[in-house]
Amino acid sequence: MSGTHVLSGAHHFGLNDCTINAASTININNFRNKRTSDAVIPLMPNPSIRFTGRTEIIAKLKDHFSNSPNDQVQKRKYFLLYGMGGVGKTQICLKFIEEMSDHFSIVCWLDASSAGTITQGLKGICNLPKAQSSALDGSLESALWWIGSLKENYAMVFDNADTLSPSELEAFFPPGQWGNILITSRNSNMRCLTLPENSLEVVEMEENDAVALLLKACCLDPSGVGLQTEAVKIVKELFCLPLAIDQAGAYIASGATNIGGYLVQYSKHRKTLLSRTEFTGASKYNRSVYRTWELSYQEIQQRAQSNDPHGSEAADTALLLLQLFPFFHHEGITEEIFAYAAVQCQETPQSELPLASSILDRRLLPVDDAGIWDNFTFREGIQILISFCLIKQGLSNCEYNMHPLVHAWSRDRMVLSKRQECSSMAYVILSCSLRWDRSQPYGFRRALVTHVRANMQQSITDKHQKNDQYFDDTHEKFGWLLREQGYSTEAQELDVQVLDARERVLGIEHIDTMRAMANIARNYADLGDYNEAEKLEKQVLDAMNRILGVEHPHTIMAMGNLAVKYGSLGKYIEAEVLGKQVLDARNRILGVEHPDTVSAMANLAATYAYLGNYTEAVKLQKEVVDARIRILGVEHPHTIMAMGNLAVKYGSLGKYIEAEKLQNQILEASIRISGVEHPNTIMAMANLAAIYEGLGKYNEAEKIKIQVLDARTSILGVEHPDTIWAMANLAVTYVRLGKYIEAEMLGKQVLNARNRILGVAHLDTITAMASLARTYAHLGNYSEAEKLEKQVLEARIRILEPDHPHTIIAMANIAVTYGSLGKHIEAEVLGRQVLDARNRILGTEHPDTILAMGNLATTYANLGNHKEAEKLRMQVLDARNRILGVQHPDTISAIENQTNSKTI
């Protein structure tokens, strides 16, 4: 079939056989008779002259609508393009029709936005010359009959079939089995009109195509210096949505701003720029980005006001969800949140302080007779939003996502007071979904914290300070959730508000006030301020003793918390004394089988390990494992965690074979029970990597640590403390492998991240500085290593005091660096101080004491004092033989040192 398709450009038409030819002047009235319609012939718009990309979609359409040699009988072909408004469905169709102009004899382009527009278009088709030759009466039915009777390869395009139901649209399909029907719609339910393989969701453009479109719309030469970089920033901010990009280009082309200044304007005036119709872009689309979604909103509003009770209720629910979802994160909005909120808040507890649960909006949270959330109405509303592509279904049937620009539009369309109201409503639902007992799956809590932080950030943006609307239950819940998920600074802000409110209303000695103080102490510890944490924990313990008595479980818990802080401060003797008291009290009051008793046993085992008493630590940790197997079962996460701690302690004793075997069992169990992305599984992988290092399997350790880092980055994000620890651990392995350049690069990233997130005075930041200093030493950059190690030592003396183990480690590191710099006198002075301190604090048998002895022996040898060096090396060898055994790597290293010294 030949001839150029011109429906898109001509205003009058003549038909010759099956091909439409352009005519410069044809008066349609010459063909009219009493049976023709007064309706106007529907015109197909021009495709944009700046159309860019979408080659895969157009190729799929061509493949589908082209006649196949295998087709014995021609059958009607259907295809659906569906997707959100502004994603470019219409332009794709126009470009496809243009490129297939020789393939279709007639193209009937119909505005399918309503039954009325389709009817008018079909009546207008009756005025085509060839249609008039069939003596049509100008009615809708006659137009459909005529189209259905055509034997040519015609095409009908139903564009923007957004508000009709599939059955309503199907009523406008012509009879017969010939021809081709192409539909564009926001309503994914239209898929029922064709086969699954003959429908395609149109999504955002590829970034390169989006950049090309923007530069075309801006009327800029793409080869211009710096334009590509600026364009990439803009298309990313607009999420590669074609309509938004086209209209941004039109705004820039108008001279209102240049490409470099657009994002500044956008950040201040997003709503205005995405709402204005004067910058319609090359597509001549008569709606702004925001207007195209506003029409969907208005349609849902009309349904809500209809006389159909069921349809009206579903539409009301959809409108309510559209008010709530913008104040969650735009991805991963799950039904679990609403299910938990509905079940947990059926009764509101009495309190002197305001509770979020008391003002919970329950319209979305009905429960059935069994007390289970009835999600029927909720899902009805969800389906309406999905049908308009205002939300999309996520990875599961119970998870929903919003496009970021739709997410922004649904907030921007509200006045400030309405935004604040809806933000609070979402905030309360999020709070009520969180259980006090922390028994919900970790994955749920990890997802929830994303929504909580998004909601809180939006409140800051809207200058809606939620502390003006204090909810005691919400603030405490979100405080521990944020702390658990690594957002300690944000948690501290909430915890301080809780303490202030409870002191004011309940009094300083109320048990709930004490709990708030304990939460702040935990935050201080997380933020590295152990001294302030210790001070608060002592206040809490003193108050608990006075108010509740020494035998009360809360008092004993406060004692246990203080013991943990002592451990963090390196006060291991005090931690041991208090830990024993806690264990004795819990044994006596709660019994040996109580979970809190077993936890006390695990904490004491950890303290023994810090003290270098690995034999006692292993013995106690075995009791913990046995108890948890007996009480919780072998596959309970707490049991697996206890087994992991035991494996680590085996490693400390040099029993790497036993440690490896046990840790592999733990990893397999954790994957089976919790899944590969659970924190316990990732921790098991990290522990296995540490054991591999102890065995000298550095390549295997490197491989696993890379997996750990990748997992934590994807699950927790690059800024999470656990991710940064994974990066730091990998840097250590790089050092062991001699990959000092990689270790330096990673060490700098860790230090920069901790400086930025935790601050220069945080102990983790100082640890990162110490690690980087050791890497510099391995690279032979001893001057830079010395400079950093001095800063580390000064910081640890200031924060932790001179006798803290970490302070002594810093002292030992400088001593080694002094030796490398040839400053053997300074190395000897520091080496003696380190050895004396470790003998005094840790005891003569502690591995760190023995290591200090070995380092001092090296210094003596460098000074030529071989007799004293030999004496110390013999002591090191004897101690390691006795404590670690002859097969331990450290013992073997001591033997080698002894042999080398004799050779010299």
- One domain for residues 379 and 353: yes
Residue 153 placed within a domain: yes
Per-residue tokens: 17: 């056989």
Per-residue confidence (pLDDT) for residue 69, from 0 to 100: 57
Q: Which of 407, 438, 469 is the last residue of a domain?
A: 469
Query: pLDDT at residue 103 above 70?
Result: yes
Q: Where are the alpha helices (DSSP H) in 364-415?
A: 376-387, 404-412
Per-residue confidence (pLDDT) for residue 845, from 0 to 100: 77
Per-residue confidence (pLDDT) for residue 28, from 0 to 100: 33
Residue 299 CB neighbours (<10 A)? 17
- One domain for residues 248 and 192: no
Average pLDDT (622-649) is 89
Per-residue confidence (pLDDT) for residue 489, from 0 to 100: 85
- Using alpha carbons, select from 830, 777, 785, 775 the residue that is nearest to residue 808: 830
Rounded Cα distance between 894 and 851, Å, is 10
- One domain for residues 176 and 215: no
At 73, the pLDDT band (50, 70, 90 cuts) reads: low
- Contact (CB, 8 A) for 42 and 111: yes
- One domain for residues 315 and 329: yes
| Residue keyed to tokens 């086969």 | 195
Per-residue confidence (pLDDT) for residue 34, from 0 to 100: 42
Average pLDDT (633-659) is 86
- One domain for residues 60 and 156: yes
- Contact (CB, 8 A) for 643 and 662: yes
Rounded Cα distance between 766 and 750, Å, is 11
CA distances, 827 to each of 287, 290, 784, 818 (Å): 76, 70, 17, 5
CA distances, 115 to each of 118, 171, 638 (Å): 5, 10, 62
Per-residue confidence (pLDDT) for residue 612, from 0 to 100: 73
Three-state SS at 176? coil
At 102, the pLDDT band (50, 70, 90 cuts) reads: confident
Per-residue confidence (pLDDT) for residue 140, from 0 to 100: 87
Q: Which of 141, 168, 202 is the last residue of a domain?
A: 202
Rounded Cα distance between 896 and 658, Å, is 25
Rounded Cα distance between 875 and 877, Å, is 5
Residue 158 placed within a domain: yes
Q: 199 - beta bridge partners?
A: 80
Min mean pLDDT across 405-419, 698-712, 745-759 is at 745-759
Per-residue tokens: 641: 């965690």
The identity of residue 380, as a single letter, is E
Q: 181 - beta bridge partners?
A: 78, 156
- Host H or E run for residue 358: none
Per-residue tokens: 680: 């316990």
Per-residue confidence (pLDDT) for residue 509, from 0 to 100: 87
Query: pLDDT at residue 441 above 70?
Result: yes
- Host H or E run for residue 137: none
Average pLDDT (177-184) is 91
The identity of residue 335, as a single letter, is E
Rounded Cα distance between 387 and 191, Å, is 11
Rounded Cα distance between 7 and 150, Å, is 18
Per-residue confidence (pLDDT) for residue 13, from 0 to 100: 40
- Contact (CB, 8 A) for 808 and 837: yes
- Using alpha carbons, select from 303, 275, 267 the residue that is nearest to residue 291: 275
DSSP string, 553-575: HHHHHHHHHHHHHHHHTT-HHHH
* 367 or 845, higher pLDDT: 367
- Using alpha carbons, select from 668, 695, 692, 662 the residue that is nearest to residue 680: 668
- Angle (CA) 748 750 753, round 5°: 105
- One domain for residues 327 and 446: yes
pLDDT in tens, 14-27: 343 443 333 333 33
- One domain for residues 317 and 444: yes
Residue 494 placed within a domain: no
Residue 25 placed within a domain: no
- Using alpha carbons, select from 39, 1, 40 the residue that is nearest to residue 20: 1
Please report the sign of the dihedral spanned by the C-alpha atoms of residue 875, residue 880, residue 885, residue 890. Answer: negative
- One domain for residues 332 and 392: yes
Please give the sequence-ordered ranges of beta strands (E in DSSP) within 816-893, or none if there are none: none
Residue 252 placed within a domain: yes
Query: pLDDT at residue 679 above 70?
Result: yes
Per-residue confidence (pLDDT) for residue 584, from 0 to 100: 94
Q: 157 - beta bridge partners?
A: 109, 182
CA distances, 80 to each of 43, 159, 191 (Å): 21, 10, 7
Rounded Cα distance between 716 and 383, Å, is 31
Rounded Cα distance between 418 and 464, Å, is 11
DSSP state of 184: E
* 666 or 277, higher pLDDT: 666
- Using alpha carbons, select from 28, 23, 27 the residue that is nearest to residue 39: 28
Min mean pLDDT across 278-287, 596-605, 645-654, 781-790 is at 278-287
- One domain for residues 422 and 314: yes
- One domain for residues 262 and 384: no
- Using alpha carbons, select from 842, 755, 857 the residue that is nearest to residue 807: 842
Per-residue confidence (pLDDT) for residue 92, from 0 to 100: 94
Per-residue confidence (pLDDT) for residue 900, from 0 to 100: 59
- What's the whole-number average pLDDT of the chain? 86
Residue 111 placed within a domain: yes
At 842, the pLDDT band (50, 70, 90 cuts) reads: confident
Per-residue confidence (pLDDT) for residue 281, from 0 to 100: 54
Per-residue confidence (pLDDT) for residue 884, from 0 to 100: 67
- Host H or E run for residue 99: helix 89-99
Min mean pLDDT across 255-259, 482-486, 685-689, 884-888 is at 884-888
Residue 897 CB neighbours (<10 A)? 18
CATH code for position 145: 3.40.50.300
Contacts of residue 621, defined as CB under 8 A and 6 or more positions apart, other chains included, come to 602, 605, 642, 645, 646, 649
- Contact (CB, 8 A) for 338 and 398: no
Residue 73 placed within a domain: yes
* 634 or 326, higher pLDDT: 326
Query: pLDDT at residue 232 above 60?
Result: yes
CA distances, 798 to each of 138, 142, 531, 794 (Å): 93, 92, 11, 6
Q: 399 - beta bridge partners?
A: 334
- Using alpha carbons, select from 291, 271, 293, 283 the residue that is nearest to residue 245: 283
The identity of residue 801, as a single letter, is E
Per-residue confidence (pLDDT) for residue 30, from 0 to 100: 34
Q: Using DSSP bridges, classify how beta strands 392-393 and 399-401 pair: parallel, antiparallel or unpaired.
A: antiparallel
Provide the phi-psi class of 541: left if phi over 0, else alpha when psi is between -120 and 50, else beta. alpha
Average pLDDT (402-413) is 94
- Contact (CB, 8 A) for 172 and 145: no
Rounded Cα distance between 281 and 247, Å, is 5
pLDDT > 90 fraction of the chain, expressed in percent and rounded:
51
pLDDT > 70 fraction of the chain, expressed in percent and rounded:
91
- Using alpha carbons, select from 827, 821, 834 the residue that is nearest to residue 859: 827
- Contact (CB, 8 A) for 444 and 675: no
Residue 534 placed within a domain: no
Range of the domain at 240: 207-277
Rounded Cα distance between 370 and 262, Å, is 56
- One domain for residues 179 and 66: yes
Rounded (10°) angle between helices 721-736 and 763-778: 20
- Contact (CB, 8 A) for 144 and 172: yes
Rounded Cα distance between 436 and 441, Å, is 13
- Using alpha carbons, select from 95, 71, 93 the residue that is nearest to residue 83: 93
Q: Where is mean pLDDT largest: 41-55, 72-86, 302-316? A: 302-316
Distance, CA of 42 to chain centre: 48
* 666 or 569, higher pLDDT: 666
Per-residue tokens: 260: 């470099």
| Residue keyed to tokens 């599939």 | 166
Rounded Cα distance between 421 and 59, Å, is 48
- One domain for residues 333 and 423: yes
Per-residue confidence (pLDDT) for residue 7, from 0 to 100: 39
Q: 79 - beta bridge partners?
A: 182
Walk across the sheet containing 155-159 and list its strands. 107-111, 155-159, 180-185, 77-82, 199-201
pLDDT in tens, 866-888: 888 889 888 888 887 887 677 66
Per-residue confidence (pLDDT) for residue 279, from 0 to 100: 63
pLDDT in tens, 572-610: 889 999 999 999 999 998 888 898 999 999 999 999 888
Average pLDDT (515-522) is 92
Counting every residue written for the chain, the total comes to 904
pLDDT in tens, 530-542: 888 899 999 999 9
Q: How far apart are the first and last CA of the chain?
A: 97
Q: Give me the number of domains the chain comprises.
A: 3
Per-residue confidence (pLDDT) for residue 12, from 0 to 100: 36
At 641, the pLDDT band (50, 70, 90 cuts) reads: confident
Rounded Cα distance between 418 and 829, Å, is 69
Q: 16 - beta bridge partners?
A: 19
DSSP string, 686-733: HHHHHHHHHTT-HHHHHHHHHHHHHHHHHHH-TTSHHHHHHHHHHHHH
